Amino acid sequence: MGIFSRDTITDFVRRGDLDGVRRRLDLGDDVNERRGFHNTPLIEAARYNVVDILELLIARGADLELANSNDLTALHAAIDEKREATALALARHGACANNVGLFGRTPLQCAILRDMLEVTEVLLAHGADPMAESDSAKIAMDYVRAGPNCEEFEKLLNAYSSLKGAIGAMNAEAITVCLRERLTGDRAAKVSSIDAAIQLKHSEAVTIILQMSLASDTLVEMVEKHKEVERGVEQTDDLKWREELRNLGEDFGRGVLALLMDSGDVVLLKQLVEDTTSKWIQNLRLSNGWTPLHLAASQTNFALVRYLLVDCGCNPLLLSSDSKTAFDFAVEIDKNSKVSWLLREHIKQRAFWERATLILSAGKVTVTRLRQLMGLMTSVYDLHIIFGLALRTLSAGEMHTVLSEVFDEVIRAKLIVDHQAITFFQLALRECRRENFIAEVEQMKWDLKATKVKRETSVWDREIKRSLLEAACTVRKAERNTALVHKQFNLLREEMKLSAIKPHTRQRYISRLSVALILCGGAAYNLGALFDICDPAKLLTVLSADDVEDFLAETTSTFVFKTGVEAVLIHSAIDPIDFALALRNIVKQEQSECIETKRSAWEPCDRESFDSTEDVLQVP
């Protein structure tokens, strides 16, 4: 009995006094007290159809399965008196629908007798067993009576009676319940339908569940289902099932992707793509023969196009079924749009990488070949590659020609987009002037033009240029690029065996190795100044995740590479430790030769075609 009142919780329940019930509970009254006929407050709340009080009692720990002297639980009581609201609430809270109670029937059987169709459906969805027998050995179907809901009752019961019936009825809830029962023996088990179907290796169930998800689920639910399929692919040891499940997942992902792109939700799209074990989106074809990039371009969705290019690595050169690129789609809509410019620049960037790879593979660097790269530049940092290919290979005159044209192209293409870019460019000019590759007046000219370009660059142009830098940071594991790293490293090691190797020759091999690494991993290696490309100590510094001073001083043999670098070396068939030690030996050799700086005065390169008459730089 509570303080200052002779009434208990049950009295307040019967009066529908929510505050009174809460007050008694706060005073410590028993939420499962017994009154007349051993009714609990929950049973009374069910009988009086007061849902708010019933919810409060459940939240405070009321036992859903306590029965009164007539073997009625709260669920039984609600159904017996046709209190639909409280019956539904109890069913959704997991009240057992399989206990035999008054007159020897289960709550499910009673709901059918009372013609409570919605309650029956909710009970079945929460684990009620249509095959459970009453005291008279009857099952739920035996209680269906003629009436307006007769056919609906029969459909429901047939759907929940077997997995085959559930799939035939295309009833998602029924499929879930039947799968749970088959997997665990418990129709109300806490396992999702797709997870149960995957564990059971039930291909038909997985297919139906994914089809129904595309038709009725929210985008968030679809993405979550796709994650579960991906986890299933990773966890199964059955190779045949893994392949079948992967194919089902990719088909489903294709449908989800199309819906996500129609919605323009980049955040959800990222979840879908990043939770996928493979790079399926790069080669994915939609039902109309388009790639995701074609679809994004046709929607003129800049954010989606940018994400697909930068984060997903989608190829802008892939053709649709009618032989058009995503760029063609964008140009047809508006050739001057941001999307058109973005695609154009990314196509140029890929062409630059491809051409640079071919030049390095051929091993023959000429002014003519380097000119082919200039018009394809999309970043001021592309100077690293052109300079790295040309360094200590071209004559002084040729070097001046190349640098003059490439600096002009940086200005013309407006590649100076921010403070970091102009700092890099100005430092490159100073370095080239110090090495007498360019004249002082030329340095001043390009310096002034770069400052002007930075001020004139539009916000969206800067955004496109930054997207290109991000794309360049994506590790590209193309076989020929990693093969190039292997080749250039071997060439460097072979040259280092020669005791009479010239410093400039050594620089040439190091710079080409650096170029090969850039082509495999883009700007991820964060090379700084232009001449860092041929400095072994600087190269080790940008490849390392730690301070390299102790390693270079040989006080430690431990070298920790940045994320992704070691993988590139291994993929290139290079032992990472051998790589680090080889560069350290070069640093040691340079120190022993008392070379104060690798940026020494220009010397003729050791190639047969060198013309010594061009060694003196002459600037008009």
Query: Which residue type is seen at 486?
Result: H
Instruction: State yes or no: pLDDT of 611 exceeds 60.
Output: no
Q: How far apart are CA 243 and CA 236, in angstroms?
A: 10
Q: For residue range 277-332, what is the model confidence (pLDDT) as tens digits?
A: 557 788 788 888 899 999 999 999 988 998 898 888 888 989 999 999 999 999 99
Average pLDDT of 581-594?
A: 84
Instruction: Write down the pLDDT at residue 564.
Output: 80
At residue 595, does pLDDT exceed 60?
no
Dist CA 43 CA 52 (whole Å): 14
State the pLDDT at residue 605. Answer: 46
d(CA 44, CA 53) in angstroms, rounded, equals 10
User: Please, is 546 exposed, middle or buried when counting C-beta atoms within 10 Å of its C-beta (0-12, 13-18, 19+)?
Assistant: middle
Task: Quick: pLDDT tens for 429-438.
Answer: 999 999 999 9
Give the span between the Cα atoms of 403 and 465, in whole angstroms. 22
With contact defined as beta carbons under 8 Å apart, do 460 and 438 qualify?
no
CA distances from 123 to 174, 188, 414 (A): 11, 10, 68
Round to whole Å and give the CA distance between 366 and 343.
30
Least confident of 64-68, 370-374, 525-529, 583-587: 525-529
Token pair 């063609």 is at which residue? 328
Tell me if 247 sits within 8 A of 255, measured CB to CB.
no
Q: From CA 485, how far away is CA 572, in angstroms rounded?
A: 6
CATH superfamily of 1-170: Ankyrin repeat-containing domain (1.25.40.20)
pLDDT at 84: 96
Distance CA 182, CA 205 (A): 12
Helix residue ranges, H only, 49-138: 51-59, 74-80, 84-92, 107-113, 117-125
Domains in the chain: boundaries: 1-170, 348-472, 479-614
Write out the E strands in 443-566. Answer: none
Q: Model's pTM, two decimal places?
A: 0.67
DSSP lists the bridge partners of residue 561 as 544
